[in-house]
Structure formats: C-alpha cells, structure tokens
C-alpha cells in the first residue's frame, strides 16, 4: 500500500462533509495537509468557507493556497473539523500530537459540531499505545512533571512506560510547540485504560494537555490504495 495514496484517498473522501458557508477547523499533519490541498481546489471552483488552522504549519499552508482564514478569537461556531490521527482504536478514540499541535487541535476539535478523522488504514489499532503518547508540558519544572507523568501511566495500567523529552529535528534543543511548551513522548506499548490515563494526566500540575482524544471523533475515514472507508460512531 502506498501511504501517500491512502492518505490522499482519505482526505478526498472528507470533502463530502464540507458545505457552503461552513467554518472549518483545519488539522495538522501529513494527511490533513492533503485535505487542505484538496479544499483549496474546491474553493477555486467556487466553494465558500472560512477556516481556522490548528497550527502555524497549517496556517502557512492554507494561506499559501488562498484559503480564507479567520482568527480563532473571531469564531462563533465551527461546523466541521477535519484532522488526522496517529492511532485510532475500534471506539474512535485517538492518539494525536505526533506533529506537536495537540493542544490547538483539541481546542478546535472540542469546539466543533463534528470532528472527522482522516488517516491511512495502518493507523487503525486494537488498543492505543504503540505510538508514543504526546503530553504537552510547561518548560518550568518539566523534569518534576515528567516523573509525575511516569507515575500516572504506571498507576493506570501501563506496564513499562518510558518518558522522554521531544527534541528538535536538528537535535540537542527541546522541541517547542506553537504555545512555546515542551512535549514528553511517552512510550506505553499499550494503554489499557485510556479514560483513567487521560484523567490522571489532566490532574498533574504542569501538564498543559495530553494526546488522548477520547469520545471526540464521530466520523473516521480510513484510506487505502483503492479508496476510503467511512465509519460512523454514535455521540
């Protein structure tokens, strides 16, 4: 399977959820980038929408394609958010944040009438946790926070957690989110109790947000070489 073809097929299928007059949340990541590209083509053909990006990377891409953007402070309603995921379980629970935009992604997704997740089929898993769970933390006291994160993972059933500070691609310096925070990438292997883990992480001072997106996605589109499968979940 060509991953790029699978991602393109998933992104293209999400266009059927877009209608004139909508305000859209634009996700971050490689699959979401294809959606932004396809959305620009629809706008060139006359589609009228406004959009709110979930990262500076997406903002730059959307701006380059001429997609009308509005500041999040001016948004009254977000009808639809289309975003990717790093893992998707059978209940449409997600791990997100591989691209470092989990905080803004969660704010926009939570404010949306509908969240549509687009991904290649390899992102579908039986149990969350093979992809390292991102946890966004404040730089101040991050070593203390990291120890608390480790303890929370252990206490909620993760057998052998590993917590490491994400570094910039060039190495040496910590990766900074758009909000100037750090990210702890937490190797879990398996997260047997996502709800308990999410609650435990949220209660740690210094944790800004975590990459468990639970009970947020109502539609999941999984792409492969031949097309895309659309899965609907109850609210």
Chain segment 206-220, per-residue pLDDT in tens = 999 999 999 999 999
The pTM score is 0.95
Q: pLDDT, tens digit, for every residue of 101-135?
A: 999 999 999 999 999 999 999 999 999 999 999 99
Q: Does the pLDDT value for residue 235 go beyond 90?
A: no
Predicted local confidence at residue 145, as pLDDT: 98
Cα–Cα distance, 4 to 27 (Å, whole number): 17
| 143-166: average pLDDT | 98
High-pLDDT (> 90) share of the chain, %: 96
1: confidence class by pLDDT, cuts 50, 70, 90:
low
Mean pLDDT of the chain: 97
Beta pairing partners, 212? 95
Residue 234 bears catalytic tag: no
Predicted local confidence at residue 59, as pLDDT: 98
- Left, alpha or beta for 17 (phi > 0: left; psi -120 to 50: alpha)? alpha
Predicted local confidence at residue 170, as pLDDT: 85
Beta pairing partners, 181? none
Q: Does the pLDDT value for residue 71 go beyond 70?
A: yes
Angle, alpha carbons 183-184-188 (nearest 5°): 140
Q: Are 100 and 29 in contact (CB under 8 A)?
A: no
Q: pLDDT, tens digit, for every residue of 25-68?
A: 999 999 999 999 999 999 999 999 999 999 999 999 999 999 99
Residue 46: exposed, middle, or buried by beta-carbon count in 10 A (0-12, 13-18, 19+)? Answer: exposed
Set 19, 87, 105, 167: catalytic member:
105
Cα–Cα distance, 53 to 181 (Å, whole number): 18
């Amino acid at each position: 399977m060509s991953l790029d073809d699978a991602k393109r097929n998933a992104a293209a299928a999400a266009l059927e959820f877009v209608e004139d007059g909508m305000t859209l949340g634009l996700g971050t990541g490689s699959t979401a980038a294809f959606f932004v590209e396809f959305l620009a083509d629809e706008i060139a053909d006359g589609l009228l929408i406004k959009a709110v990006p979930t990262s500076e990377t997406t903002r730059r891409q959307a701006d380059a394609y001429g997609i009308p953007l509005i500041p999040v402070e001016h948004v009254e309603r977000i009808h639809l958010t289309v975003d990717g995921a790093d893992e998707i379980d059978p209940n449409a629970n997600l791990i997100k944040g591989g691209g470092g935009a989990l905080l803004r992604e969660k704010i926009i997704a939570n404010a949306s009438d509908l969240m549509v997740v687009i991904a290649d089929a390899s992102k579908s898993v039986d149990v969350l946790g093979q992809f390292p769970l991102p946890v966004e933390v404040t730089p101040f006291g991050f070593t203390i926070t990291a120890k608390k994160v480790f303890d929370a993972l252990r206490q909620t059933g993760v057998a052998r957690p590993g917590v490491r500070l994400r570094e910039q691609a060039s190495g040496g310096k910590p990766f900074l989110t758009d909000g100037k925070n750090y990210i702890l990438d937490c190797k879990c292997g398996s997260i047997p109790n996502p709800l308990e883990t999410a609650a435990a992480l949220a209660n740690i001072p210094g944790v800004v947000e975590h990459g468990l997106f639970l009970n947020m996605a109502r539609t999941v589109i999984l792409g492969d070489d031949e097309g895309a499968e659309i899965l609907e979940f109850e609210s």
